[in-house]
Amino acid sequence: MTTCPVSRRRVLAAGSAALWPWWAGSARAHHGWSSFDQTRPLYLEGRAATVQWRNPHVELVLELAGDLQLPADLKQRVLPRQTAPVDGPALLAAAQLPTRRDKRWTIELAPLTRVQAWQVPEIQPGTPLAVLGFGFDGEKGEPVLRAEYVFVGGKAYGMRSSPA
């Protein structure tokens, strides 16, 4: 029995259409590094509102502290070494607060396997934490931050690469 090329195309088109909502949602949820303003490190602090431990990266919604300020000790914090060349002290020195006033930010951490390699404790809703990273689209678009470092439980974890 042979299949008509037109019928094969209809089946492929129907299958593609069925997958479109899933694919489109996945593509929107994941942002590459080029979408983030890496010239302006931002510091955010608050409590996790929601957390999703999954790939392509761990993601959480951070409810910002009402009195968000740069900590006095931020520039002196000890940062872990990563396999990628990241100048953590320079990022800490350049850190600033966001100019936008959103109280909730989506935080993109590293892929799940890398978060596990760092042995980051599983963040639950309500967990206090801070992040240093880069805003999406120069803070013009969504309130999304790609984390370079996450501070949880009194410890810093790198997100750019694996532990060195």
- Express each pLDDT in 79-90 by its tens digit: 999 999 999 999
Across 9-16, average pLDDT: 42
One domain for residues 86 and 149? yes
One domain for residues 20 and 95? no
Is residue 164 in some structural domain? Answer: no
One domain for residues 94 and 116? yes
Q: CATH number of the domain that 114 lies in?
A: 2.40.50.140
pLDDT at 72: 96
One domain for residues 15 and 72? no
Domain hosting 42: range is 33-158
Across 82-106, average pLDDT: 94
Distances (CA, A) of 128 to 28, 84, 158: 27, 27, 17
One domain for residues 63 and 38? yes
One domain for residues 38 and 88? yes
**Whether the predicted pLDDT of 21 surpasses 60:** no
**Whether the predicted pLDDT of 16 surpasses 50:** no
pTM: 0.79
Banded model confidence at residue 31, pLDDT cuts 50, 70, 90? low
- φ, ψ of residue 26 to 5 degrees: the values are -65, -40
Q: What is the dihedral of CA 18, 61, 121, 153, to 10 degrees?
A: 170
C-alpha neighbours within 13 Å on the C-beta side of residue 37: 17
Beta strands in 53-92 (DSSP E): 59-64
Across 126-137, average pLDDT: 93
Is residue 163 in some structural domain? Answer: no
